[in-house]
Amino acid sequence: MNEVLRYLSEEMSDDEAEAFEARLFDDDALALDARRVVEVRAGLRARAALGPLLPVIDARALASLRATRKLSEHHPQDGVIDVAFADEAFVIAHVPVDLADARTIDVAFCSTDGAPYFRAHDVPFAETGVIVACEAHVARAAGTLRVRITDETGRLRVEVVLTGH
């Protein structure tokens, strides 16, 4: 795979790239690597067409999502976000937390017993909090989610419960 990635990343000289191309079209192992790259790219594009690649977004992405998708937006009350599902595409949770001193933020989506379903690493955040964008069908299927926000040291900054009916 490394050769294909070096080629794609334009790290080969022109002569090296031309020699590589001659092998790329005839070598089965390189063709398989090429297919993996193409599938990853297609997968990213397909996913991006559905909505944000990350379940945590910045204000600009939220503005874009507001313009194109039906959203329900919520703020936690005593650490709980209670969603009455309708026909929204995304549930947006505005989670307030002081992150002025944080360098990076991770968000974990966990079951009620704390076992993580999914983690998003190094997500966008503002000094005043994060914006969680959860696909409505995922939130509905999960029932209740614990959303845990930690900083670069692993310290828990805040946890909110997202529950729906």
Residue 29 binding another protein, by CB under 8 A: no
Q: Among residue numbers 77 through 116, which ones bind another protein (CB under 8 A)?
A: 104
Q: Between 52 and 76, whose beta carbon lies closer to another protein?
A: 52
- Residues 157 and 50: their CA atoms lie apart, in Å, by 30
Shortest spacing between CB 42 and another protein, in angstroms: 7
Which range binds another protein by CB under 8 A, 41-49, 65-73, 94-102, 155-163? Answer: 41-49
Residue 24 binding another protein, by CB under 8 A: yes
Which range binds another protein by CB under 8 A, 52-60, 66-74, 82-90, 143-151? Answer: 52-60
Among 4, 81, 95, 131, binds another protein (CB under 8 A): 4
Residue 2 binding another protein, by CB under 8 A: yes
Q: What is the 3-state secondary structure (H, E, C) of the chain?
A: CHHHHHHHCCCCCHHHHHHHHHHHCCCHHHHHHHHHHHHHHHHHHHHHHHCCCCCEECHHHHHHHHHHCCEEEECCECCEEEECCCCCCEEEEEEECCCCCCCCEEEEEECCCCCEEEEECCCCCECCEEEEEEEHHHHHHHCEEEEEEEECCCCEEEEEEEEEC
Size of the site for another protein (CB under 8 A): 46
Q: Between 53 and 59, whose beta carbon lies closer to another protein?
A: 53
Residue 26 binding another protein, by CB under 8 A: yes
- Residues 91 and 84: their CA atoms lie apart, in Å, by 10
Q: Give the footprint of another protein on this chain (CB under 8 A).
A: 1-2, 4-11, 17, 21-22, 24-26, 28, 30-32, 34-48, 53-55, 104, 118-124
